[in-house]
Amino acid sequence: MNEATMGWLGSSDFSWGFYAKHGFTKSDGLVTYAESHDEERLNYKNISFGNMSGTYLIKGNLPTSLKREEMAAAFLFSIPGPKMVWQFGELGYDISIDFNGRTGEKPIKWDYFTDPNRKTLYDAYSKFIKLKKNNSIFNTTNSAYSLTGGVKYIKLSDAANTVVVVGNFDVINQNANIDFGAPGTWLDAVGNNVNLSSNIYTATLAPGEYHIFSKTALR
């Protein structure tokens, strides 16, 4: 997932997060995560090695880097099954794993809560976890996805609802063209609703732009 957050698309496919890719028959057989204790933090690599185009910079740009983290979290928590959060990832922890030695103690950055950009990421994590816990569709067995390239999406369906998470992981504008399965009004849990005249959602997405659309309101 870190290649996606950094904006390097060649190896940015994170469909490994779906349990069926591992031969499991149920989502509770696979715990997925975006970062863990034995690798560099996502945000450290974003800030150190992120892609850029024109005025859109990931490398060295904390606000943009954190928004990339937010978009990735929207996708992570939409994948059916249990999730692990490596503590302080929800605040964009960006101290290198090699600080004080690879297995050495790392500073606890309580001051992150005073940074409005980091607090926004924290609040987004809270929102996405609440959506996952309160809406059974996020554990459906009926899913479709395209997680290669710049525009990525996850589509979840059950008897009562359909959810489509879509985002642009590129560093330039990209056109989305996705079959939502039904026309009409689609509610966006993180932005403005859209009204489709056909099944197809078409839009030009800015870099880092993402949406969580649903046919009926999420709790």
SS3 content of the chain, % helix, strand, coil (to 5): 30, 25, 45
pLDDT for 199 equals: 98
Distance, CA of 191 to CA of 169 (rounded, Å): 17
| Mean pLDDT value across residues 127-134 | 99
pLDDT in tens, 71-117: 999 999 999 999 999 999 999 999 999 999 999 999 999 999 999 99
* pLDDT number for residue 124: 99
Say what the pLDDT of residue 179 is.
Answer: 98
Supply the pLDDT for residue 70: 99
DSSP 134-177: H-GGGG-SEEEEE-SSSEEEEEEE-SS-EEEEEEE-SSS-EEEE
Alpha-carbon span 186 to 214, nearest angstrom: 6
Identify the structural domains of the chain with CATH numbers, from first to last: 2-137 (no CATH), 139-214 (2.60.40.1180)
Q: What is the pLDDT of residues 26-50, one digit of tens each?
A: 999 999 999 999 999 999 999 999 9
**Contact call for residues 213 and 192 (beta carbons, < 8 A):** no
pLDDT of residue 210: 99
Rounded Cα distance, 99 and 51, in Å? 24
Q: Is pTM beyond 0.95 here?
A: yes
DSSP reduced 3-state for 31:
coil
How many other CB atoms are found less than 10 A from the CB of residue 172? 13
Q: What confidence tier does 202 reach under pLDDT thresholds 50, 70, 90?
A: very high
pLDDT of residue 119: 98
Could you tell me the two tokens for 181?
Answer: 């399965």
Both structure tokens of 198: 């056909």
Indicate the average pLDDT of the chain: 98
- The answer to whether residues 166 and 205 touch, using CB atoms and an 8 Å cutoff, is yes
In this prediction, residue 86 carries a pLDDT of 96
Position 140 scores a pLDDT of: 96
What's residue 206's pLDDT?
99
pLDDT of residue 209: 99
Tell me the pLDDT band of 141, cut-offs 50, 70 and 90: very high
